[in-house]
Amino acid sequence: MDQYPLLAFFAVELTRYLTGPPFYRDIDVVNNPEFETSNRILNPIESRRQIPTSHTKMKNFDYPTCIKFDHLRQLYASDCLSGYDQFSLQNKVWMDVNLYFGGFTREHLRDMKKTSFLLENDPEEGRRYYRIVDPRLNASSSTRMYEQPGQTSCPVSTMERYLSFLNPDSDVFFQQPYSMDEIKSKRSWYSLTPIGKNIHSHRLSTICKQIGIYGQLRNTSMRHLSRQIHSRYPEFTPRYSDKLFGIVSGTEVDPLDGSYI
């Protein structure tokens, strides 16, 4: 067996392991200068194999960056987004926020506050919706995430539940989850510490990996899907939100014009 690829991907996999559940540590073994000496050990291998290290920053590898619509449905139907515990509930909210509001940079995700979102009522639709009211996030104020009454994966219900479990002593929106043991002695599911930028960067890949979907997936996947749907519903009508929900729930029979996002 060729041992070099395994050594080369050790730092990459270690980063994903540390930034995923249950640790959620803001550590990037591949690109953090503190690990440069360790990664330098792989330099001779890199020169012959063109494998990713802290110097190449994985530029020489052509990782898949797309996710299939079917995979998106699998995610929403999986335990990873069930909302039954602190990890899956935050995963579901993270996916909903990026999907319905067009995808965000890791910096914007880290900077989100509880007050970044406003719950309002649409009297014409007879439904509630969330919209972003934080100008720092560079999001369109007209984008709305509508509720889906009677649906277990309703994004508005999920958001309300998530907010109720956040630490009341912090306004941070994406807080670090407590461990199962810590929750027993706490009044919330989440700590005062915000989720780090590296965790946000790898989160889509981390969630997908838990159900067997592999690839270097980024938030650009979410942004691309939103752009496709927005091209059909440019005014961000309720149909825009309904279309997204139909895709992830499997009720949408025409998932746009392609099979990838």
How far apart are the C-alpha atoms of 197 and 109, rounded to whole Å?
8
pTM: 0.73
Residue 76's contacts (CB-CB under 8 Å, 6 or more residues apart) are 95, 153, 248, 249
Six-digit token string for 39: 């990664």
Stretch(es) of the chain classified as CATH 1.10.443: 69-249
What confidence tens digit (pLDDT) does each residue in 60-102 have? Answer: 444 445 567 788 889 999 999 999 999 999 999 999 999 888 8
Burial class (CB in 10 A: 0-12, 13-18, 19+), 22: exposed
Specify the fold of 69-249: hpI Integrase; Chain A (1.10.443)
Classify the phi-psi angles of 258: left when phi > 0, otherwise alpha if psi is within -120 to 50, otherwise beta. beta
Instruction: Kindly report, residue by residue over 191-235, the tens digit of the pLDDT.
Output: 999 999 889 988 888 898 888 887 667 777 777 767 777 777 666
- The bridge status of strand 145-146 relative to strand 127-132 is antiparallel
